[in-house]
Amino acid sequence: MATPRYRPEQFVDSGWDSGTPERKARFVNSLLRFIADDFPRERFTRPLYLGLSTHGYFGFIAHYDIHGFYEEQLATPARRERFLSDLARDCQKDAHLDRPDLWSDVKEVLASRLMPQQEPARSPRRLAPSTSFGARSAAARSDAPTLF
């Protein structure tokens, strides 16, 4: 799986040492490579762990050490799937906030990379207008079953 490379100028400085554009770009690039390479334990580095557990405010439990975090979140395919689902949901939720201190720019990038392609939205069906009694008339509904 080819992963794009993100540059520091694509990110906003958070105002903290942990949120410089350079660190954000390194984090995004290393996380996407780590995921693309199927979560190799030996490449779960301290900067990647810190980005997920504290610096990036992703909501994951931060009291694990690096090994406990990997074991709890990434050690099995089921845990990886849950982790990616939780990460994608959290990123999508916070991406629109425009808060560099909460890494919303990083979350916007990750949400776009981690969310499965959505099927085109179907247009909602129009319902027939209600009658004076509140029920929709069977003649107005094209999907109404024939009763006799």
Asked if 39 contacts 80 with a C-beta cutoff of 8 angstroms, the reply is yes
Sign of CA dihedral 52, 54, 55, 60: positive
At 19 the pLDDT is 86
**pLDDT-flagged residues of the chain (< 70):** 1-2, 55-57, 59-62, 116-148
Classify burial at 49, counting beta carbons within 10 Å of its beta carbon; exposed 0-12, middle 13-18, buried 19 or more. Answer: buried
Residue 56, pLDDT score: 63
Q: Give the per-residue pLDDT at 52.
A: 87
Helices (H) and strands (E) in the chain, counts: 5, 0
Chain segment 7-47, per-residue pLDDT in tens: 999 999 988 887 899 999 999 999 999 999 999 999 999 99
How many angstroms separate the Cα of 134 from the Cα of each of 125, 130, 131, 137, 143? 18, 5, 5, 9, 18
Distance CA 37, CA 75 (A): 14
Closest by CA position to 10, among listed 1, 2, 23: 23
- Percent above pLDDT 90 for the chain: 43
pLDDT at residue 36, as a whole number: 95
- So what's the pLDDT on residue 131? 47
Count the Cβ atoms, other than its own, within 10 Å of residue 52: 23
Query: By CB neighbour count within 10 A (0-12 exposed, 13-18 middle, 19+ buried), where does 117 fall?
Result: exposed
pTM of the predicted model as reported, rounded to 2 decimal places:
0.72
